[in-house]
Amino acid sequence: MRQWLVGRRLVRHTGWRPTDTLVRALGAGFALVVAGTVLHQLPLVLIGVPLLVSGLITPRPSGSPTVTPVRHAETVDSGGTGTVTVEVRPGDGAAFTAVRLPVTGRSGVGPVHLLPAAAGALRARIRWGHWGRSEYLRADHLLASDDGLFVYGPVVGRVAQHTVLPPIEPLPGASLPPRAAGLVGAHRSRRPGDGMELRDIRPFQQGDRLRRIDWRVSLRAAAARGGALVPGTLHVRERYAEADADLVLALDTTVDVDTDLARWSELGQRPDARRGGSLDLGVRAAASLAAAFLRQGDRVSYVDLVNARLGVPVGSGRRQLELVRHALVRSGERVTGGGEPVLRAGQVPLGATVIVLSPFLVDSLVDLTARAARRGNLVIAIDVLPEGLLADTATPWGDAVRTILLAEQRMRLAALADQGVLVLRRDAAASIGLLRRHREARRGVRR
C-alpha cells in the first residue's frame, strides 16, 4: 500500500518515472566501474560499463497516457448482460498496459489484466447479478516501457457505479376490487354505467340513451302485445361501469434475515440485502407484482413501512414501475435492524388492495396489517421468511430457539387470518390467483 501511494504521488509530479530495476542497474554499474578502477580489475569494469551505459542511454517515454472508461447506463436490469469499454491511449514508448477490468461471474471491479500497450478500446463482457447499487468498474492502470525500466502509474481510476433493478418474474393477470371513486378504468365496479359487462335488462326509462336499447328483447315484448312498440315494450341493456383499481405494496424493512439463525445477530450491520434473505424475497415479489398490475392498467403505490420518505405515491404506467423498482433498491440499502413500522391511513387510498410483504417476526407487523384490514381494505399478507431455517449449532438451545420462533410466527399468521387477512407464504404468483378467486366469490355473492 505504501509503494502504491508513493507511486501515485510521483506520477502526479513527474509522469513517467524510473523503476527500481533501472536505478539498481545504474547503481550496480557505477559501483562495478569504481571497484574495478580502484582494484585494477578489468573484468569488473567490463561488467559494469554495459550496465551503466545502457541505463544512461535508455530513452524516457514521452507523452501522457490516458485510460478512459466509456460512460454506460446508470440503470440496468438484474440478470441482463452488457459490455464495459475502456479507451486506452498509451502514448509513445509504452510497451505494456496493466488495467483492472471486470470479469463475468465475479462481482466487483475485477482483477488486473496485463496486455500489450496499444491504442484502442478494451472491452469486457459482464452479467448484471444481484439487484442493488454497486461498483462495476474502476479502471486502475499502470503502463511500462520495454524491459520495465520506466512506468507511468499506478493510477487509481474513477469508480463507476450503477443501479441494478430487481428482476421481474412473469405473473398472470388478475382483477383487483375497484376502488369506490372513479368511473373510468379497467375493472368492473358495482355501479351501472358504460362498461362492457352486462348487468341487467330492464324496461326503457326517461333519460336512457337510444343506443342502449336491446331490439331483440324489445321486439319480442312488442310481439307479445300485438306487434306494436307501445310504451313498456322497449328494453335497454344496463352494464357495469368500469373503475380504477389501486394496489398498495407495503414492504417490511425492519429486518433482513436469511436461513442461518446464527447470523441473525448481524442485523443492521450489512450495507445491502442478503441474497435469498427475507428482504431479497420481498423486493423481488414486490417488483413482479407491481409489473403485473401496472401492465393491465391498474394504479400502484409503494410504501416502505420504516422509511416513509422512500415510498412512491400511487400512479400508473411504465414510469411508475421504474419509480417503484428504484425505491425498492433504496429500501434495500437502509435496513437498520430497528424502527417501528407504520402504515398510515393516508398512505392507503380508499378501497385499495394492500399487500404486506414481511417475515412477520414481530407483533407490531401483525397489528399494523390487522388495522389496515379493519379499515375495510382487502389485505393480503405474504410471508417472506426463507424456508429451511438452520439452528445455531454454537449453542445447545439452537433447535429449541428455531422451534419456538417458527411456532410464534405461525401464531401471528393465524391471528391475521382471524382478522380477515388473506395469508400466503413466499409466493407472489399465488396472490394473483387468490385475488382472482376472491373477485369471483364477491361476484357470486352479489348475484
pLDDT at 432 (0 to 100): 60
Is residue 306 within 8 A of residue 341, CB to CB? The reply is: yes
d(CA 424, CA 279): 16
- Max CA pair span of the chain: 144
**Phi then psi for 130, rounded to 5 degrees?**
-65, 140
**Does 443 have pLDDT greater than 70?**
no
3-state secondary structure of 149: coil
Q: What are the pLDDT digits (tens) for 7-49?
A: 555 444 457 888 887 788 888 888 888 888 888 888 888 887 8
pLDDT at 182 (0 to 100): 43
* Nearest in space to 240 (alpha carbons), one of 206, 280, 190, 203: 190
Is residue 164 within 8 A of residue 76, CB to CB? The reply is: yes
∠ CA 148-151-153, rounded to 5°: 145
d(CA 202, CA 189): 19
d(CA 308, CA 330): 12
**For the residues 297-314, what does the mean pLDDT come to?**
88
- Kindly give the residue spans of alpha helices, DSSP state H, lying in 90-166: none
Q: What are the pLDDT digits (tens) for 363-420?
A: 888 999 999 888 888 888 999 888 888 888 888 888 898 899 899 999 999 999 898 8
Residue 103 burial by CB count (10 A; 0-12/13-18/19+): exposed, middle or buried?
A: middle
**Phi then psi for 424, rounded to 5 degrees?**
-125, 160
- The architecture in CATH of the region 246-445 reads 3-Layer(aba) Sandwich (3.40)
pLDDT at 301 (0 to 100): 92
pLDDT at 321 (0 to 100): 92
* Fold of the 66-165 domain: Immunoglobulin-like (2.60.40)
Q: Give the count of beta carbons closer than 10 Å to the beta carbon of residue 281.
A: 23
- pLDDT-derived band at 190 (thresholds 50, 70, 90) equals very low
pLDDT at 324 (0 to 100): 93
| Sequence letter at residue 80 | G
Where is pLDDT greater, at 361 or 60?
361
> For the chain, which residues make up each domain, given as ranges?
1-57, 66-165, 196-240, 246-445
pTM (2 decimals)?
0.70
- pLDDT-derived band at 197 (thresholds 50, 70, 90) equals low
Give the DSSP H/E element, type plus range, for residue 412: helix 398-418
Q: Sheet containing 112-116: give its strands across.
A: 17-18, 150-155, 141-144, 96-100, 112-116
Is residue 380 within 8 A of residue 293, CB to CB? The reply is: no
